[in-house]
Amino acid sequence: MNVLQVLPELNVGGVETGVVDLSKALVKLGHKAVVVSGGGELVKQLENLGAIHYQLPVHQKSLLVMFRMINKIAEIIKKEEIDIVHARSRVPAWAAYFAARKTNRVFITTCHGFYKKHPFSLVMGWGKRVIALSNIIARHMIDDFGVPYERIKLVPRSIDLEKFKYIDPAEKRKADFHVGIIGRLVPIKGHAYFIKAMAKVSRSTSGLKIWIVGDVPQSREAYKEELQILVKRLGLKPATEFLGLQRDIPSILANLDVLVLATTTHEAFGRVIIEAQAAGVPVVATKVGGVVDIIENEKTGLLVPPADPTSMAEAVIRLYKDKKLAQDLSQAAYKKVKEKYTLQDMVKHTLDIYEEALSNFKILLIKFSSLGDVVLSTAAIRAIREKFSPNYKITFLTGHDAKDILLRCPYIDELLVSDLKSNGILGLLKLAARLRKNHFNTVIDLQNNRKSHLLSRLTLALNRYGYENKKFSLLLNHRVKDEGIPLDPVSHQFRILKMLGVDLKEPHLELWPSQEDQRYIDEFLNSQWLATHQKLIGINISASHRWSTKAWPLEQMLKLCEELSRRQMRVVLTGLETDLPEAFALINAAKLVKPINACAKTTINQLGCLIKKCCVYISSDSAPLHIAAAMGTPFVALFGPTDPRRHLPPAKDYVVIRKELDCSPCYKSKCKTKKCMEMIKPQEVLEAVDKLLKNELKP
């Protein structure tokens, strides 16, 4: 595995130490460790460990520089054959993110701080996996940046226990009582409150020695002077040392009796706490951020409110006076460090995240149009599932009308439902934002219209597949041309899947009704006095109301029903609620026939069970025809304005009836004559039914 870590600089600090520690472990385990930073004091140490370092100005907040860094980092990714791009800070994360997208690499972030809710911080939530150092940071990224829970991974900071020697507080205690604070000299670290607390401690202790360890940024020199003045004003100057930046923190901790962390804002983790605990130093810390993950109050340390010198002083005094308490806290904390915060644990968890990110992929299928089209997509869904391993999560996006078709589909992991027909551009953008949070690797656009192409692009998926047409198809980066040759609907979809290496082997369609659906149909037919020996013939009474040209004339249907009745066959009429007037008209006009009226009495899956009961099903080009194919029921397909070569579902036993006219196929939803459908005679349909029934009787 080749891993690229990107951070602003490589000077002393928690982030930098973590990068060096992980790089060391990666090299030791036989992986390639590459780091990009603005340089720093730890570069030589990093390179001595066997890692590769590239110095680039990734720490600069200039938009121009950040833009230039995209290509620079992309070149490094290609040269070093990087698998994982791991960003550890906001500024370099922007360039790293776009470089990872440009090279189609996995992008991962680690959130080392409690970021302000600002657009500039959004990139830290865009990783395929977002590593948080503590529960408070994880919650922050979920609540304030909308990162899905499943993409959050908790990996606390760690330490190399070999660098620290545990010393029992009782053995260390001498005449002098050393209390220290370690961290950058910036206001949020709470040094002023620490100094005020020490003034109170000095009145109750003897031999107090105060160590303030940490450097001050160039822009904060005045702040250091303020602290020095405060020390002098409180009479602590003889007891206080500003030690500045210290490289050998283990040596500092070996001489401390108490470590204080006085941070006033949310602390992402607090690495210095576990370093102190590894050295046996009892810790007093403010109850902020990730500190509560490390310290269990009164068991592994003492927690005090932030910006409260009095409580801080009282806690330190307790440890001074109660040596048994100091010893108990020290031993319990050391045990916890060995169990949860070792370098080995951090490396293992991080590598597990890398492996998971590399092996787990998400595929989004888009098909939100008519019911029949969604049924036609079931062959494609099955083939995609068979092609890709269980590590691939398959999500299907469809409309409200079609959701019931896929509720029990065994080939998808997640079903998303949205009404794109009525939500408009605002609804489309909201849906796109929702999809982006899923971090799909691949989008397969089976819808192939303007909305679906736009939505595919807005998901930010690296790979987007569909047809090349004039409907914003440039937004897809993998396109196949529609050659204009009549092709059945399933084969047409598989031309897209061919780009993913998915071949058409089994074109049959499927539906997955429940046992409850089957029981409902059994009870419904029993209520209609259907004899067990009687053959049931289904007739779909109309097509879509938007396509009145597809409908077979009612008078022709009536004649067919009468002929079927003479042959002792029972007819069941299927349709929607809007088809009830036609159904009632047919039933009232029939004198010798009593069709079963199932219009508006079934769900999609119940309709499938009903069609399954039919010996033959008769329908024009519409969704029920596709359902009949999915349920394996022989059918008679009546085609008029549309071309069966393009719309006939795959099936074994069927008969197509279509009249060849000069104007057909016209694909017109309205027509004055509707001649193509009127020319289909009941006798032709009856002969087709007989043919299919004879096939049924063959051994």
CA distances from 5 to 2, 51, 76, 189, 348 (A): 10, 11, 11, 27, 17
Type of residue found at 642: T
Spatial strand order in the sheet of 478-481: 414-417, 392-398, 361-366, 442-445, 463-468, 478-481
List C-alpha distances in Å: 446 to 86, 335, 450, 458, 475: 33, 56, 12, 16, 14
User: Residue 360 in 3-state DSSP?
Assistant: coil
What confidence score (pLDDT) does residue 267 get?
75
Low-confidence spans in the chain with pLDDT less than 50: 698-699
3 state DSSP class of 37:
strand
Residue type, 575: G
Full DSSP string of 95-162: HHHHHHHHTT-EEEEEE-S---S-GGGGGGG-SSEEEESSHHHHHHHHHHH---GGGEEE----B-GG
**pTM, rounded to two decimals:** 0.76
**Could you tell me the two tokens for 621?**
């080009």
| Domain 2-154 CATH class label | alpha beta
Residue 186, classed as helix, strand or coil, is coil
- List the one residue out of 253, 264, 337, 251 whose CA is nearest residue 301: 337
Domain 360-500 CATH class label: alpha beta
Sheet containing strand 535-540, strands side by side: 596-597, 569-574, 535-540, 616-620, 635-639, 654-658
Neighbour count for residue 672 (Cβ, 10 Å): 5
Angle, alpha carbons 354-381-400 (nearest 5°):
100
Helices (H), 476-553: 489-497, 515-527
The structural domains of the chain, with segments of one domain joined by +, span 2-154, 166-341, 360-500, 515-697
Rounded Cα distance, 263 and 654, in Å: 76
Contacts of 33 (CB under 8 A, 6+ apart): 3, 5, 22, 23, 24, 26, 27, 49, 50, 51, 52
Reduce the DSSP state of residue 667 to 3 states and report it: coil
pLDDT score for 699: 44
Cα-flanking dihedrals φ and ψ of residue 53, to 5°?
A: -120, 135
CA distance 87 to 97: 8
Q: What is the pLDDT of residue 422?
A: 64
Query: Which residue in 629, 635, 625, 613 sits closest to 534, CA to CA?
Result: 613
- CATH class for domain 166-341? alpha beta
Residue 540 forms beta bridges with which residues? 574
pLDDT at 696: 62
Beta bridge partners of 307: none
Nearest to 258 by CA among 164, 169, 163: 169
Q: Could you check whether 2-154 and 360-500 share the same CATH topology?
A: yes
Q: Which pLDDT score is estimated for 421?
A: 67
Asked if residue 153 lies in contact with residue 130, where contact means CB atoms within 8 angstroms, the answer is: yes
- Separation CA 351–CA 306 (nearest Å): 36
Cα distance between the two ends of the chain: 60
CATH number listed for the domain at residues 515-697: 3.40.50.2000
Q: What residue has token string 């059945």? A: 488
